[in-house]
Amino acid sequence: MIKLKPLFLTAILTLACGLPAAAQKADAPKAPAPAARSSSGQLAELEWNFLKAAGQDKNEDVLELALPQLEDWLARNPVNPNAPEAQLLKANLHQKLGDYKAAQVDLLRYFHAYPQGSTLEEAKKLFNEILGKKADKKTRPALEEAALIPESAEADENVSSMLEKFSAQVGEVYYEPLTAEFRAFFNRFPGYSKNDSLLLALADLHQKKNKYLAARLDYEKMIHLYPSSALLPQAKRSLGGLLADNLREYDRAIEVYQDVAASFPGSEEAWAAYGRLPALVEKQKKYDLAVEIYEKIIQLYPDRDEAYNSYKAEARVLREEQKKFPEAVAVLNRIADKYKDAKAIEALLLAAEIYRKDLKDPEGEVKMYDRIAAEYEADPQAPKALFAAGDVYSKAKDAEKAREYYQKILEKYPDNPLSKKAESRVSAIISGKI
């Protein structure tokens, strides 16, 4: 139990009741007259005087008890003439109790909420003292910038701007006092026009501090409270990333990213959502949805590299995960239709492999080789395709068709290293060895 010194109690009671100490010791009258009811302003003044005196006590236990009462007084009386001095007292109490970070944040709030306060110079002096003792290379620049006195006297604009910028710079270091200031701001200015941005900044701060559930709650709160905000796409994108990367709620992350992609077509956030969705849906083995998403990317972003990657990924999912071999071949042929270069040849060779290994369809395999040879005659893969087609027919015991393909190599690519092997195969066919 805290024991207050008698002199301290006498002084406090004197301030609180407005009576001399001697009168406190006098016997109470038997029938006291009812005291006149004080106005709210008078009560605020009396309470401030009480707290101001309590703040001078040398007992740290008393200071710890006085501090939350002072915070409550400031919350109820933010524009009281004594509010700037009370804000400074709050910083002093934090400093005396060894919480320098909270003291610094208190003083930053002073500078932005009360830039014309009568105790401004005293607040600056205390701030610089703490800055010199406690700031490091990382925090000093942000603190010095945040301590610049704003020209505007609008507390909501000043404080919100400071909170948003300072939390983005070094918020993790000042996490506890900053989050308290965010809450105090929302309580004082519930209708402030930029609260959507400030709530998003608070959620970002939670996430940087690895307070993932708190971040999720504030992202969702921002989305719920401000459905028309221009920052809604950003909030939903951030929520999706949090769910996927930190909370590992993959199905919920998929829902959020799908919402972003559908609700904000053409936006940077939609593009980012499409960048995350494929891996997530495959991780959850939602292969039909994966194919759908790949097709959407191909449709919406046909000229980006990601479209080509989506073609390949879709073919892979169809082949490896869904065993839909004809559909996989169809996608690979679409690649060959769109990309008239090495990408097309690679796709056609993979389609030939599917015909050979999965579909056991020699004719389909040869068709892929025929397309390579016909459309890319000058490419080194053309004679290889012809030779592969000859081998398909050779294995099928169709000597005439095999000879036809080997002969094409001799006629079109006589200087190619494969021509000697092709000539050997033709000779073997003629001699009946094949």
Check which CATH number belongs to the domain holding 227 and give it.
Answer: 1.25.40.10
Q: Provide the 3-class DSSP secondary structure of residue 416.
A: coil
> CA 73 to CA 203: how far, in whole Å?
27
Residue that terminates a domain, selected from 234, 269, 304 = 269
* Residues 168 and 223 occupy one common structural domain: no
Q: How far is CA 79 from the centre of its chain?
A: 36
Q: Provide the 3-class DSSP secondary structure of residue 259.
A: helix
Q: Write out the residue range of the structural domain in which residue 61 sits.
A: 43-190
Of the candidates 208, 19, 270, the residue with the CA atom closest to the CA atom of residue 200: 208
The dihedral formed by the CA atoms of 131, 134, 139 and 141, expressed in degrees to the nearest 10: 30
Q: Provide the 3-class DSSP secondary structure of residue 212.
A: helix
Residue that terminates a domain, selected from 157, 190, 223 = 190
38 pLDDT band, cuts 50/70/90, is: low
Check which CATH number belongs to the domain holding 133 and give it.
Answer: 1.25.40
The dihedral formed by the CA atoms of 368, 371, 372 and 374, expressed in degrees to the nearest 10: 150
* Residues 136 and 150 occupy one common structural domain: yes
- The DSSP secondary-structure symbol of 150 reads P
Residues 6 or more apart in contact with residue 310 via CB below 8 angstroms = 278, 294, 295, 297, 298
- pLDDT tens for 348-406 read 999 999 999 999 999 999 999 999 999 999 999 999 999 999 999 999 999 999 999 99
* Residues 56 and 177 occupy one common structural domain: yes
20 pLDDT band, cuts 50/70/90, is: very low
* Residues 49 and 138 occupy one common structural domain: yes
CB atoms within 10 A of CB 304: 14
Residue that terminates a domain, selected from 235, 269, 303 = 269
Let me know if residue 324 belongs to a domain.
no
- CB 319 within 8 Å of CB 353: no
Checking if the pLDDT of 17 tops 70, the result is no
Let me know if residue 361 belongs to a domain.
no
Let me know if residue 294 belongs to a domain.
no
* Residues 159 and 180 occupy one common structural domain: yes
* Residues 64 and 176 occupy one common structural domain: yes
DSSP H or E stretch at residue 238: helix 232-241
- pLDDT tens for 197-229 read 999 999 999 999 999 999 999 999 999 999 999
431 pLDDT band, cuts 50/70/90, is: confident
Let me know if residue 177 belongs to a domain.
yes
Number of residues that make up the chain: 434
Token pair of 141 as six digits:
């620049």
For residue 54, which amino acid is it? A
pTM of the full structure: 0.84
Let me know if residue 139 belongs to a domain.
yes
Structural domain count, the chain:
2
- pLDDT tens for 237-285 read 999 999 999 999 999 999 999 999 999 999 999 999 999 999 999 999 9
What average pLDDT score do residues 333-343 get?
96
> CA 326 to CA 360: how far, in whole Å?
12
> CA 237 to CA 239: how far, in whole Å?
5
What pLDDT is stored for residue 352 in this prediction? 98
* Residues 49 and 174 occupy one common structural domain: yes
32 pLDDT band, cuts 50/70/90, is: very low
433 burial (CB, 10 Å; 0-12 / 13-18 / 19+) is: exposed
Let me know if residue 147 belongs to a domain.
yes
Let me know if residue 145 belongs to a domain.
yes
What pLDDT is stored for residue 75 in this prediction? 97
* Residues 100 and 181 occupy one common structural domain: yes
Checking if the pLDDT of 10 tops 80, the result is no
Checking if the pLDDT of 31 tops 70, the result is no
Let me know if residue 319 belongs to a domain.
no
